[in-house]
Structure 1
Amino acid sequence: MTHTDNVSDSARHPHWAAAVLGLAERILGPAHPPIALHEYPAPERSFEYRADAGTLTVRATDAVAAAVGLHTYLRQVCAVTVDWDARLPLPVPAFPDTPPAHRTAEVDQVYYLNFCTTGYTSPYWGWDEWERETDWMALHGVTTPLTAVGHEAVLRDAYTRLGLSDDQARAFIGGPGYLPWHHMGNLDHFAGPLPASWADTHLELGRRILERQRSLGMTPVLPGFTGHVPPALAPAGPGGRTRTRTWQGLVTHVLDPADPLYADVGARITRSQRELLGTDHLYAIDPFIEMVPVDADPSFPAAIAAATLEGLTRADPEAVWTMQSWPFSYQRSFWSDERVTAFLDAIPDERLLLLDLFAEREPQWTRFDSFGDKTWIWCALLNFGGRTDPMADLQGTLDRVNAAKAARNRPAGIGLAMEATRNNPAFFDLVIDQAWTRTERVERDWLPGFVERRYGRGHDPSLLEAWRGLLATVHAVPDTFRHPADQHGVLGQRPHYRDLADPGELRARVAARVWYAWPDLLRAWERLVGAAENTPGLADGPLGRDLADVAMAVLLRVADHRYLELVEGVAREGTVPQEELADFLAVFDHLDALLATRPEYTYRNWEDQAASWAAGEEDRRVLLDNARRILTVWTVPGDGQLDDYASRMWAGLVGDYYRSRWQLWARELGSAASDPAGVAARLDRALLEREEEFLARGVPDPPQESGDVVARSRALLDRYGRTERP
């Protein structure tokens, strides 16, 4: 439904109006109250909204600002929000009157996504998921999304034009579940080949996503060439044109930047991309992600920069290189201040957009004086692999955002560069809100509004008290933890017997994971469960996820302590205390049953979504292998490279895969102290067999009845929530 005032056609019909009204219809339903959209001339990204006589009027400088204006009205006036857990359409039968409210963006750009996100969250999404995600982006002010869907078809086109066969190109690209790491140059010929049907369908999907993003005023970032090429195109070895490098045990081939083929391939890929997907002149290229340059000469990175820019600008004279700062912190032993400065100085300021990827924990802007005069974006990362243990440092993160805004060379934007979405909504909502507002204190200035929007106006007051408890506990990770998600505990880890040699060190690690007052977390859990019981139906929305998250936070620490008690008992007595072992394994069963009540925490859905893209049995084999592999062994069983990196607490993984491994561990626990080498070798063989079995078969079908999240939460609270320690 639309409304127009008696104004000029240009004011009445901004060129972006149809796209924003389509967004409004998707989130409010086709019978939503009237909305009028007008241009708002201003030097900076801004909006103004007012509502009178049942009509909402939004004036905005652009489509993204209009979407944020609409969402701000819904959040501030109607107390509803479109977050990852929202049920749509939102319940807004009428627009309450409100006087004009104006807002100007704190920063011009909002960056969104990480290459890894399309491996850990969205590799198997279709249009329905991407349409909703793109709407979420617009409503939260995203201007600059990384959009990699369809790039595999670009690579196939480019490499076949360069002389490879279709089979060679698809073999080089590898499995669909691992495309992000191929695009970053970390691997090739892995877990594939890429199904031909996948490249075709995802080219069309990518076009559709980009069309929607562009219609909503976004400027997508598309992948570019990293120097990583098929060996068939440029062989390695003596007299060859490439050199090899290794990432997590996987070997890839990179061209020498002095070779003319470097710029030729870069230009060809950029041309194919423009022909197939268009361009907005932003190209994500990370030639050194977790791999130091193959030549230690300090001038070598500058040569990479020159060859990269030559290939880009030959095909697109307006090209801007978008690059992550991650290597500068991840491999700081190589990336000295001098090396980083020399590399960045080799790239003209107007040709670079730099992403300070892990700025909430390891900011690089403070190290390099706000990157001189380079354009940069402050980004939050938080989770690695999409680990589901809910923890963050909300106030510390906010303080770091505010410090960046006061920098000499202020960030051009704020970004979310998480390795996976759909977890820890409070953290990501807080960060992205700072693009359009300035918050000083989380508890005072932001948390009450977050709770009201999440649960609705007039919610049970105990919900705010519960979140205050979470803010003081799991959302107050101390600075001593470099990666908060690394503290995810033993439940999802590959078992071993090494802790028997030093139970004291294990005790210190386990104690460090409870840096807060344990009873405070239990009281927060009690309040959430009580509110769910007092308000029937509330747990059908976001509260249901929150119940699962807090139960997860509690039970993972319980598992840590029960594991510690087992290890200490065996080290002390030489025998396995059977009652303690049963209590330890029971945690897996209880957590699995609770997670099974939530579809977003059910492993089977991941596999089913992957298999839905199969055009035949061979496609299905590749897709299921990729889905299973990346969440468990990541590379190959037994190599020890990235085992359980994602460590997802999902029903099926917890109760079947993780539990079965710990059962194997327990089988010879009593003998581990007397024959550590022999028992460890037998455990490794048994785990290897279990991992191979999982890759071949996945997990059994879950029971048809998954139960009720509130009832299961109450049962777990009664069982685990009455102790003064985990």
Structure 2
Amino acid sequence: MSSGDGELEAPWAQAVRGLAHRVLGPVAESVRFAERHAEGRGHAYEAQGGVLTIAATDGVSAAVALHHYLREHCGMSVGWDTVLPLPLAPLPDAPPRQGTPRVREGYYLNFCTFSYTTPYWDWSDWEREIDWMALHGITMPLAVTGHEAALHAAYTRLGLDDDRIRRFLGGPGYLPFQFMGCLDDFAGPLPPSWIERHRELGARVIERERAFGMTPVLPAFTGHVPREIAATARAGRRDWQGFETWSLDPADPLYARIGAEIARAQIELFGTDHLYAADPFIEMIPIDADPAFPGAVAAATLAGLRAADPDAVWLMQAWPFSYQSDFWTEDRVTAFLDAIPDERMLVADLWAEQDPLWGRFERFSGKPWLWCALLNFGGRTDPVADLRGLAPGIDAALAAANPPTGLGLAMEATRNNPVFFELVTDQIWNRVSDLDAWLDAFVAQRYGGRSADELRAAWRDLLDTVYGAAGLRIAPDQFKGVLTAAPSYALTPTGPLWFDPAVLARAWERMIEVAERDPGPAAGPLGHDLVETGIAYMARVADRLCAEAAKSGGDPASVAAFLKVFEDLDRMLACRPEYTFEHWEAKARSWAAEPAERAVLSDNARRIITVWGTADSPLLDDYAGRHWAGLMSGYYRDRWELWARGLGAALAGDPGAEAELRERLRDRAEEFLREGAPQAVPGDLAAESRRLLTAYADVFHPDRRGAR
């Protein structure tokens, strides 16, 4: 080891030692940790005689060192779905190795993730996630869990009673959108037991993150207030996707006062690392069109934060500058950013892999910024990405005159497309100059070296198909496909097909063959990848068969073949609990303390992944649609059956066919919100995957179908 490695117990050692035990089991007793004294972050490690010694400047660097060792010398990685502890004994020798990160920070999460992935997590879920964060170099996680307790405390001090505050906060599954100022008084009220239990959970999450040396980013006031306060103040009405909210004018002294009150309450409950996330314009035009108005909002936001915390720094997502680029002209953005001292703001370039903003707006007017990858909107469960374009995009940003201080993941939901997100986090520490070599190593480590040649070949096919989406806009409006889309006679929605489905089918078959021969890996990452690849193929099958049913004029055989896709796919999805609606709703209901709370929690779990808002509003319908068992054979299939019933009339020119379909779909949605989905019946994933592949192998070859 290099000089400067200390002998005393590092302040982060206990946290990393706990992680090591969860990852390695008893073998963790052979890992030693020491504090490394050096400028900047970094680590060093070596292994001799079955003992691994890690010296690091901080807990995250130590965890990264452990993960690098496991990947490079043990051929094993730790992903979201890796079965732990790893089957390792003893630890192999490794020569001395040192590492330093390319950027200071690794940022993680998006407000939306706390609705689309984590809203019903308990401590065991969060502990596993924080371990993943540390192993992957995350130093700056967004920490939203429990923020409702700070809002409740602040508004209580401002004179509102408990019932009114909980109505304002709304349903637990929608809280992050409430925190962003997008909605209030919706899908609630917030259950009484929720606030205190999530205050405790949020505090525990933040405590563990800090134990690793991470800097949690806490939410801050956006100007959004209850109607009672808006009625007696200077405020303006805003609209987001049909939801009406009220925002204070920054000229009203209440703006800074409430901001300070919320920050103080939060500091009392969770402490602070002086970094706060607030997005007062997230997807809403400012209530005043005066070009100087956003700067006034910035001044009031900072004034409130600094009244509670003189060292406060504001982290803001640059998403509005992309989402509403017609309003956010270069002059407006520059005027807004110039109104904020450089040392008081950190900008997250949220969708930098698709729509990078860092080269515009005079590089965010010199503000420090984060390069972030988004990819996932709403929680898509099918694989897609432009893997080859990722590393060059990051390299270009790091070579800029004002490079990012960190790289981050800002996905709206996790537990999908792990190859994309791991490729980003790897570049926090190491440059990826050869994607093919990186992918080969990723595959071998993901499956622990088992059937490496076959699985590498499968992934090369994935790279040539779903993960080769160069030049395509990867967003829900383009990639949905018919499986999770609302039916319509005006247009049959299909996802883009830029690759040969036969190549995708070959990748899937190679994975199936491995799972049939060696069932062990299917319990972990291989099972996840089997399902994702199956979804990708079956989504395009559904698109093709739906188009054929429409072209046939509603021929019963064509319609039956199309609808059977939903039933068949449902059986495969049921083989993995995380791909079942039942699992999602059970997690939500586990937080209920009484029947009335269960009703709210079930409603939230059902609503957000289907209609999102109300059953009669199309604005966010199916935005967070999921390929989940229970939904496929129930909710989604039923909707397309309703479509098929009226198809003949629609093709005959019935002017009322579309309106009648809309009414029937609304009734089906309301039924689902009341009753939920049928339970999934688990089976053997390899067998169900093989059955699907065999049954639909000739869909893209109509000339061969009759021979089967």
Q: Once the 2 structures are TM-superposed, how far is the Cα of residue 568 of structure 1 from its aligned partner? A: 2.1
Tell me what 1:449 maps to. Answer: 441
- Cα distance in 2 for partners of 1:563, 1:71 equals 45
| Deviation sequence 1:645-698 (CA, Å, 0-9, x none) | 011000011110000111111111111122432122221121111111100110
* In the alignment, structure 1 residue 297 sits paired with structure 2 residue 290: yes
- Cα distance in 2 for partners of 1:724, 1:679 equals 30
Give the alignment partner of residue 522 of structure 2, picking from 516, 530, 539: 539
1:611-630 equivalent positions in 2, closer than 5 A: 611-630=589-608
* Corresponding letter in the other structure for 1:579: A
- Cα distance in 1 for partners of 2:607, 2:474 equals 27
- Cα distance in 1 for partners of 2:519, 2:590 equals 35
Tell me what 1:359 maps to. Answer: 352
Q: Once the 2 structures are TM-superposed, how far is the Cα of residue 566 of structure 1 from its aligned partner? A: 1.8
Q: Once the 2 structures are TM-superposed, how far is the Cα of residue 550 of structure 1 from its aligned partner? A: 0.8
Give the alignment partner of residue 83 of structure 1, picking from 73, 79, 88: 79
Give the alignment partner of residue 709 of structure 1, picking from 681, 685, 689: 685
- Cα distance in 1 for partners of 2:348, 2:405 equals 10
Tell me what 1:137 maps to. Answer: 133
CA contact (8 A) 1:389 1:485 kept: no
CA contact (8 A) 1:32 1:93 kept: no
Give the alignment partner of residue 324 of structure 1, picking from 317, 328, 346: 317
Q: Once the 2 structures are TM-superposed, how far is the Cα of residue 73 of structure 1 from its aligned partner? A: 0.5
Aligned length: 701
Change (3 A) 1:323 1:8: closer
- Cα distance in 2 for partners of 1:482, 1:416 equals 16
CA contact (8 A) 2:337 2:365 kept: no
CA contact (8 A) 1:12 1:37 kept: no
Change (3 A) 1:288 1:527: same
- Cα distance in 2 for partners of 1:723, 1:168 equals 56
* Corresponding letter in the other structure for 1:541: G
* Corresponding letter in the other structure for 1:213: E
- Cα distance in 1 for partners of 2:4, 2:375 equals 47
* In the alignment, structure 1 residue 674 sits paired with structure 2 residue 652: yes
* In the alignment, structure 1 residue 490 sits paired with structure 2 residue 482: yes
Which has the larger displacement, 28-37 or 340-349?
Answer: 28-37
- Cα distance in 1 for partners of 2:513, 2:646 equals 42
Q: Once the 2 structures are TM-superposed, how far is the Cα of residue 303 of structure 1 from its aligned partner? A: 0.3
Tell me what 2:562 maps to. Answer: 584
Change (3 A) 1:250 1:700: same
CA contact (8 A) 1:327 1:335 kept: yes
- Cα distance in 1 for partners of 2:334, 2:26 equals 54
Which has the larger displacement, 360-369 or 255-264?
Answer: 360-369
Tell me what 2:243 maps to. Answer: 250
- Cα distance in 2 for partners of 1:594, 1:295 equals 52
CA contact (8 A) 2:294 2:336 kept: yes
SS in 2 for 1:676: coil
Gaps of 5+ in 1: 500-505, 571-575
Identity %: 55
Q: Once the 2 structures are TM-superposed, how far is the Cα of residue 9 of structure 1 from its aligned partner? A: 11
- Cα distance in 2 for partners of 1:417, 1:263 equals 28
- Cα distance in 2 for partners of 1:412, 1:152 equals 30
- Cα distance in 2 for partners of 1:336, 1:679 equals 43
Tell me what 2:584 maps to. Answer: 606
Give the alignment partner of residue 555 of structure 1, picking from 534, 538, 552: 538
Q: Once the 2 structures are TM-superposed, how far is the Cα of residue 558 of structure 1 from its aligned partner? A: 0.7
- Cα distance in 1 for partners of 2:521, 2:255 equals 57
Give the alignment partner of residue 470 of structure 2, picking from 478, 495, 500: 478
Tell me what 2:57 maps to. Answer: 61
CA contact (8 A) 1:263 1:308 kept: yes
Tell me what 1:522 maps to. Answer: 505
| Deviation sequence 1:365-413 (CA, Å, 0-9, x none) | 0223432421100000001100112111111122211111111111100
1:173-572 equivalent positions in 2, closer than 5 A: 173-235=169-231, 240-444=233-437, 446-483=438-475, 486-499=478-491, 510=494, 513-570=496-553
* In the alignment, structure 1 residue 663 sits paired with structure 2 residue 646: no
- Cα distance in 2 for partners of 1:462, 1:454 equals 13
SS in 2 for 1:253: strand
- Cα distance in 2 for partners of 1:232, 1:424 equals 44
SS in 2 for 1:290: coil
Change (3 A) 1:421 1:485: farther
CA contact (8 A) 1:54 1:95 kept: yes
CA contact (8 A) 2:478 2:496 kept: no
- Cα distance in 2 for partners of 1:463, 1:176 equals 41
- Cα distance in 2 for partners of 1:245, 1:634 equals 19
* Corresponding letter in the other structure for 1:413: G
CA contact (8 A) 1:33 1:95 kept: no
SS in 2 for 1:322: strand
- Cα distance in 2 for partners of 1:25, 1:449 equals 25
- Cα distance in 1 for partners of 2:392, 2:608 equals 34
Change (3 A) 1:725 1:424: farther
- Cα distance in 2 for partners of 1:432, 1:177 equals 28
CA contact (8 A) 2:236 2:247 kept: yes
Change (3 A) 1:12 1:94: farther
SS in 2 for 1:434: helix
How high is the TM-score relative to the length of structure 1?
Answer: 0.94
- Cα distance in 2 for partners of 1:72, 1:343 equals 42
- Cα distance in 2 for partners of 1:56, 1:368 equals 47
- Cα distance in 1 for partners of 2:541, 2:346 equals 44
Which has the larger displacement, 218-227 or 368-377?
Answer: 368-377
* In the alignment, structure 1 residue 718 sits paired with structure 2 residue 694: yes
- Cα distance in 1 for partners of 2:694, 2:593 equals 48
Q: Once the 2 structures are TM-superposed, how far is the Cα of residue 173 of structure 1 from its aligned partner? A: 0.6
Gaps of 5+ in 2: 703-708
Change (3 A) 1:9 1:431: closer
* In the alignment, structure 1 residue 15 sits paired with structure 2 residue 8: no
* Corresponding letter in the other structure for 1:227: G
Q: Once the 2 structures are TM-superposed, how far is the Cα of residue 443 of structure 1 from its aligned partner? A: 1.4
1:153-192 equivalent positions in 2, closer than 5 A: 153-192=149-188
Change (3 A) 1:375 1:711: same
SS in 1 for 2:32: strand
How high is the TM-score relative to the length of structure 2?
Answer: 0.97
Tell me what 1:503 maps to. Answer: none
CA contact (8 A) 2:371 2:406 kept: yes
Q: Once the 2 structures are TM-superposed, how far is the Cα of residue 513 of structure 1 from its aligned partner? A: 1.3
- Cα distance in 1 for partners of 2:376, 2:30 equals 40
Change (3 A) 1:631 1:724: closer
CA contact (8 A) 1:174 1:194 kept: yes
Q: Once the 2 structures are TM-superposed, how far is the Cα of residue 723 of structure 1 from its aligned partner? A: 5.1
* Corresponding letter in the other structure for 1:300: F
Give the alignment partner of residue 66 of structure 2, picking from 66, 70, 75: 70
| Deviation sequence 1:282-331 (CA, Å, 0-9, x none) | 10000001101011110000000000000000110000000000000000
Q: Once the 2 structures are TM-superposed, how far is the Cα of residue 457 of structure 1 from its aligned partner? A: 2.1
Q: Once the 2 structures are TM-superposed, how far is the Cα of residue 241 of structure 1 from its aligned partner? A: 2.1
Tell me what 1:149 maps to. Answer: 145
Q: Once the 2 structures are TM-superposed, how far is the Cα of residue 28 of structure 1 from its aligned partner? A: 1.2
Q: Once the 2 structures are TM-superposed, how far is the Cα of residue 15 of structure 1 from its aligned partner? A: 1.5
